[in-house]
């Protein structure tokens, strides 16, 4: 039997073992969700909003017992974990309050008496999620999908089974308390090797995946083979451009924070700092001071700012990236050494004079490691920022006007000007290139998993010519471009040429 194993990264000790779902349990879960599809859809926006409000209230009420699960299973500092529970509750609340406006029917003028687009649910959406933000990523997937009228299945990372079970319990309580269909959302403790079969199952209509580019490629290939829509939010090597006219203190404060949130284990963290040469030394001094002052330690201690790396293999890979980059000629100004003692801690690390072909610039670094690259001017900084296979997010530090102009030239799905890159329920996020496709959150995210259905209501306006042929009434509308005539072949074999004026 496959076990889903959670290990405390601050000690290296196994804290939880959960058996993966058997084939019978997988089938029962999918059957329950399938049974809930129609009643959940028919509950309407107000009924579904009541459930999401109940989810938000339950998350807030139980924050003190939910947050420590993240600290225990993936090492998130307790203060950040509490903040994540609150942010997850906000996401549920936001979609409960705004889904009706986001999904409002769009009236579009045409030759019909009335024509419009309405947004209908697709069915069941499978969410395949990583370990680094267990509650936030679950609600980011679930809240818009559920409010759009879809049912949901959560397949969380195998290293956070306690978090996954707790999330499933939150939804179960909310569904029960509101009298909603109990199968509308289910946690499925699925082994990774069983994911493809669930994607292929006829009871799953779409997939939302957050994770590595390699994992996203595998999920996308299966979904595409089944002709099922997918949204992919993948890795990033996010650039932060700092120009000579930037507020260096504000930039240093924000970039240091961005790099060490969740011990740097974030797809949208500031990873490559591209600095205009004129202010390079001044910014590096500020960054070094801020990173050196951070407290690394027990994630249960509220004073801790940087917790451990989530797994031993992840720390080993991070250290490889640092040592290879330093060996290639980068200056190691801070950190870069494996600490003694239990757990998988890694110190805040600063690499300067990093070149484009060095490991820390070419690969995504998932940990508290900052790579600084020099640029002669703004044009070179922009070229350097775009010289990556990723395109998730970026930031620019300069005047607001100049930053907005540069944003149009940055190949990323999200750009912050003079601010931290973050996800927000009100705004869409997602990537380009190998950072994925599709969008989550905001009005754009909720429309990823809907049937954008066009409805045409007759009778038609006068632009339609009605023709009788063989006892049938035909309506033929021709847009003539190169010619003033178009030919329509009728089903009973008669052919008619209809002259249309060119407008």
Domain housing 379: 239-417
Q: Give the Cβ contact number of residue 342 at 10 Å.
A: 12
Q: Are residues 312 and 208 in the same domain?
A: no
What CATH number is attached to the domain comprising 179?
A: 3.40.605.10
Q: How far apart are the C-alpha atoms of 54 and 44, rounded to whole Å?
A: 16
Element (H, E) at 292: helix 280-292
Instruction: State the pLDDT at residue 1.
Output: 83
Distance between CA 278 and CA 244 in Å, rounded? 6
What's the rounded Cα separation, in Å, for the pair 361 and 368?
Answer: 14
Report yes or no on 24 lying in a domain.
Answer: no
- Per-residue pLDDT tens digits of the chain, which is 503 residues long: 899 999 999 999 999 999 999 999 999 999 999 999 999 999 999 999 999 999 999 999 999 999 999 999 999 999 999 999 999 999 999 999 999 999 999 999 999 999 999 999 999 999 999 999 999 999 999 999 999 999 999 999 999 999 999 999 999 999 999 999 999 999 999 999 999 999 999 999 999 999 999 999 999 999 999 999 999 999 999 999 999 999 999 999 999 999 999 999 999 999 999 999 999 999 999 999 999 999 999 999 999 999 999 999 999 999 999 999 999 999 999 999 999 999 999 999 999 999 999 999 999 999 999 999 999 999 999 999 999 999 999 999 999 999 999 999 999 999 999 999 999 999 999 999 999 999 999 999 999 999 999 999 999 986 544 444 443 333 434 333 333 333 433 333 333 333 333 23
Q: Verify that 209 and 297 share a domain, yes or no.
A: no
Spacing of C-alpha 48 from chain mean position: 22
Strands 331-334 and 349-352: antiparallel
Residue 245 pLDDT: 98
Tell me: do 266 and 380 sit in the same domain: yes
- Here the CATH number for the domain that contains residue 354 is 3.40.309.10
Q: What is the pLDDT of residues 299-309, one digit of tens each?
A: 999 999 999 99
In a domain, 483, yes or no: yes
Give every CB contact of residue 127 below 8 A, 6+ residues apart in sequence: 138, 141, 142, 145, 152, 153, 154, 155, 207, 208, 209
Q: How far is 154 from 164, CA to CA, in rounded Å?
A: 8
Q: Is 267 a known active-site residue?
A: yes
The single residue of 50, 91, 165, 267 carrying the catalytic annotation is 267
In a domain, 20, yes or no: no
Residue 389: inside a domain: yes
Q: Kindly state whether residues 132 and 272 are assigned to the same domain.
A: no
Instruction: Say if residue 228 is in the same domain as residue 318.
Output: no
pLDDT at 453: 98
Cβ-based neighbour number of residue 236 at 10 Å: 30
In a domain, 14, yes or no: no
Has 478 been annotated as catalytic? no
Q: Specify whether 361 is located in the same domain as 382.
A: yes
Residues 219 and 299 grouped into a single domain: no
Shared-domain flag, residues 176 and 290: no
Rounded Cα distance between 205 and 201, Å, is 8
Per DSSP (E only), the strands in 25-150 are 106-107, 114-121, 124-128
Greatest Cα-to-Cα distance within the chain, rounded to the nearest angstrom = 90
**Residue 62, CA distances (Å) to 67, 82, 170 in order:** 9, 10, 9
| Residues 388 and 490 occupy one common structural domain | no
Edge-to-edge order in the sheet of strand 331-334: 331-334, 349-352, 369-375, 272-276, 239-242, 393-397, 414-417
* 427 located within any domain: no
61, 202: one domain? yes
Catalytic residue among 80, 93, 233, 276: 233
Cα 176 from Cα 159, distance rounded (Å): 28
Task: Please report the pLDDT score of residue 482 as a whole number.
Answer: 35
In a domain, 297, yes or no: yes
Please confirm whether the linkage preceding 459 is cis (ω < 30° from 0).
yes
Q: What is the DSSP string of 198-258?
A: HHHSTT--EEEEES-HHHHHHHHHHHHHTT--EEEE-----EEEE-TTS-HHHHHHHHHHH
Please give the tally of structural domains in the chain: 3
pTM for this predicted structure: 0.91
Count of helices and strands (H, E) across the chain? 15, 22
Q: Residue 462's pLDDT is what?
A: 65
Shared domain check, 350 and 260: yes
Whether 84 contacts 163, CB under 8 Å: no
Beta bridge partners of 469: 472
In a domain, 2, yes or no: no
Spatial contact of 432 and 413, defined as CB atoms under 8 Å apart: yes
Same domain, 285 and 155: no
**Nearest C-alpha neighbor of 287 from the set 320, 310, 312, 253:** 253
């Amino acid at each position: 039997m496959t076990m889903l194993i959670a290990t405390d990264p601050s000690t290296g000790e196994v804290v939880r073992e959960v058996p993966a779902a058997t084939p019978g349990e997988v089938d029962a879960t999918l059957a329950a969700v399938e049974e809930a599809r129609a009643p959940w859809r028919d509950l309407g926006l107000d009924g579904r909003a009541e459930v999401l409000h109940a989810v938000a209230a339950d998350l807030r009420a139980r924050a003190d017992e939910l947050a420590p699960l993240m600290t225990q299973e993936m090492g998130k500092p307790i203060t950040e974990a509490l903040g994540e529970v609150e942010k997850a509750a906000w996401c549920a609340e936001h979609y409960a309050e705004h889904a009706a406006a986001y999904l409002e029917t769009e009236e579009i003028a045409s030759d019909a008496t009335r024509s419009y687009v309405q947004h209908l649910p697709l069915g069941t959406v499978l969410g395949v999620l990583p370990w680094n933000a267990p509650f936030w990523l679950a609600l980011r997937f679930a809240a818009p999908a559920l409010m759009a009228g879809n049912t949901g299945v959560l397949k969380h990372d195998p290293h956070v089974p306690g978090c996954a079970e707790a999330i499933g319990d939150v939804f179960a309580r909310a569904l029960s308390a509101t009298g909603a269909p109990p199968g509308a959302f289910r946690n499925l403790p699925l082994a990774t090797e069983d994911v493809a079969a669930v994607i292929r199952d006829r009871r799953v209509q779409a997939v939302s995946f957050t994770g590595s580019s390699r994992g996203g490629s595998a999920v996308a290939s299966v979904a595409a083979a089944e002709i099922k829509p997918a949204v992919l939010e993948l890795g990033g090597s996010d650039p932060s451009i700092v120009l000579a006219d930037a507020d260096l203190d504000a930039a240093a404060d924000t970039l240091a924070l961005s790099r060490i949130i969740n011990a740097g284990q974030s797809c949208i963290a500031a990873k490559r700092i591209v600095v205009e040469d004129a202010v390079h030394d001044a910014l590096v001094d500020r960054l070094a001071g801020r990173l050196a002052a951070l407290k690394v330690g027990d994630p249960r201690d509220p004073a801790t700012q940087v917790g451990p790396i989530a797994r031993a293999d992840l720390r080993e890979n991070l250290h490889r990236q640092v040592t290879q980059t330093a060996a290639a000629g980068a200056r190691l100004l801070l950190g870069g050494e494996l600490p003694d003692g239990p757990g998988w801690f890694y110190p805040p690390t600063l690499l300067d004079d990093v070149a484009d072909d060095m490991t820390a610039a070419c690969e995504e670094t998932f940990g508290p490691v900052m790579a600084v690259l020099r640029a002669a001017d703004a044009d070179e900084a922009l070229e350097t920022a775009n010289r990556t296979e990723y395109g998730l997010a970026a930031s620019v530090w300069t005047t607001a006007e100049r930053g907005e102009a540069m944003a149009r030239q940055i190949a990323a799905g999200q750009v912050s000007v003079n601010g931290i890159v973050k996800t927000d329920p009100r705004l869409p996020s997602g990537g380009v290139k190998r950072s994925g496709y599709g969008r989550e959150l905001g009005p754009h995210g909720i429309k990823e998993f809907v049937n954008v259905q066009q409805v045409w209501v007759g009778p038609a306006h006068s632009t339609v010519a009605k023709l009788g042929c063989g006892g049938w009434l035909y309506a033929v509308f021709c847009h003539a471009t190169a010619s003033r005539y178009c030919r329509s072949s009728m089903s009973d074999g008669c052919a008619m040429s209809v002259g249309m004026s060119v407008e």
